[in-house]
Chain A
Amino acid sequence: MPASYPSEGESDVDLDEYRHPGTGCVVSVPPGWDRLEDPQTSVALIAREPEDPAGFRANLVVTVDDLSSGPDLEQWQADTDRLLRQELRNYFLLDREVMQFGDQPVVRRLAHHASPDTGPVTMEQWAMVSGSTGYTLTASVATLSYDSLADVFSSIARRFRPGSTRHDEEAT
């Protein structure tokens, strides 16, 4: 019998620190992962594990949303829940909680989705609000590889630091 069942923890993998020039947010990225900066509107960063012809490449995506129209974290994330159900094929919500990173409330969700292109994917997301900007860190991995990266993803999320956007600076 184990002395205790392991729970979600921190990884001891060394991570590279990346600062996004537009938003100032700081993201920890596993060494050797490709980085795409500002690949599309509202997407600050995509980082992907090295090419793996055998299957789905684990990746991190940082998205930035303007919340100046008013939704708070819970309202914003309730909308996100609906959007994910609509947009992702075979979407299944596995876990969802509101947690604290320091004094920062964060919504964490774990979900599964699958399409013919990707196969089964486990997606973990952390969403937080800084000023009038919503930051979402999304980590995705082939489902059978989830356990091997879960602690790395958790470490990346806990080290994430939102930036101050130009909009927030203008507002103050």
Chain B
Amino acid sequence: MTVAFDSHTGRLRLDQETFDCLVAWARGSAEPGPELSALRDAGAIQDGQPHPKVWPGLQAVTEPICRLQAGSIEHNGRRRIGDGWVSSEAAALLLDAPDGMRELVTVHPTFMPMTIARVVRLGPRPRAGSDPLHLPSALYNSLFDADEATRRQAAERLSVGASDLPLAAVVERLVTGPWRMWAVTLTWTTPDGQPAARGMQVADTGAGLCLVDTGGQDSTLWPTTATGVWRRLTLLLPDEVRTP
């Protein structure tokens, strides 16, 4: 089965090729692909039209005001990615599903922060402290490696046992796991034609949350709370979507 469609919720589960076919069909392609029949059989396309629950998301995909890219990696190296398209009427998010399929979720743009929060399982965490941890990018990469031994070596180089090391509990949890690093970036073109972007990267451990800054030769982990992460999530959308 390459397509599963829930006409009640509008959730559409499909593989990437079928999604590409759906988008090509929506854009008017004469030969969108052989997957079109599966989309019809599942009810995502009815009588030559997208199902009403699919239509807003498909419009966002074909005529977006901004694009969204998301990704996460866990302590065991498991990666998931997400793609998104946002218009003034809808936000369509195409997310990796556990079975290798992808799931198209369509919500009103004002629900985008909540949808991301659910996907990354944002929730209460201990306060990790107040001081940021600055570290060379090579050490940072080792600290978030999929191999625990590599992470432990990086932590030892940071003197994780030292009482004055900022975020010591977070670093220790990065070694042992579980943790998830996730990032989301929105890009768009401003009304005067300039490229614009907003994004955030978060390290989520049971010992606390950190905003991550990886620009330049050094990387920084900034301690934060779920509230701090939520505030930034609510600010990601461009003004063109926030105030249509």
Contacts and interface: CB of A to CB of B under 8 A. Distances in A.
A7 interface: yes
Interface residues of A, number: 26
B93 to A, nearest CB: 15
Most chain B beta-carbon neighbours within 10 Å: one of A114, A144, A147? A144
A143 B132 CA distance: 28
Contacts of A1: 213, 215-216, 220
A107 to B, nearest CB: 11
Contact of A147 (B111, B216, B234): B234
Nearest to A97: B124
Interface stretch (B14-22, B38-46, B53-61, B221-229): B221-229
B118 interface: yes
Contacts of B110: 119-120, 142-144
B211 A94 contact: no
Nearest to B226: A95
Interface string A95-117: 11100000000000010101000
Nearest to A96: B124
A112 B114 contact: yes
B228 A94 contact: no
Given A1-B216, A5-B228, A95-B226, A122 B127 contact: no
Interface string B113-136: 110011000111001000010000
A74 B124 CA distance: 16
Contacts of B226: 94-95, 110
Contacts of B25: none
Given A1-B213, A143-B234, A95 B227 contact: yes
Interface string B83-101: 0000000000000000000
Contact of B227 (A2, A4, A110, A120): A110
11 contacts: A5-B228, A93-B124, A95-B124, A110-B227, A110-B230, A112-B117, A120-B111, A120-B114, A122-B234, A142-B110, A147-B231
Interface of B: 108, 110-111, 113-114, 117-118, 122-124, 127, 132, 211, 213, 215-216, 220, 222, 224-228, 230-231, 234-235, 237, 242
> Considering the complex of A and B, which 7 residue pairs feature the smallest CB-CB distances, nearest first?
A95-B226, A96-B124, A5-B222, A95-B227, A147-B231, A146-B234, A120-B110
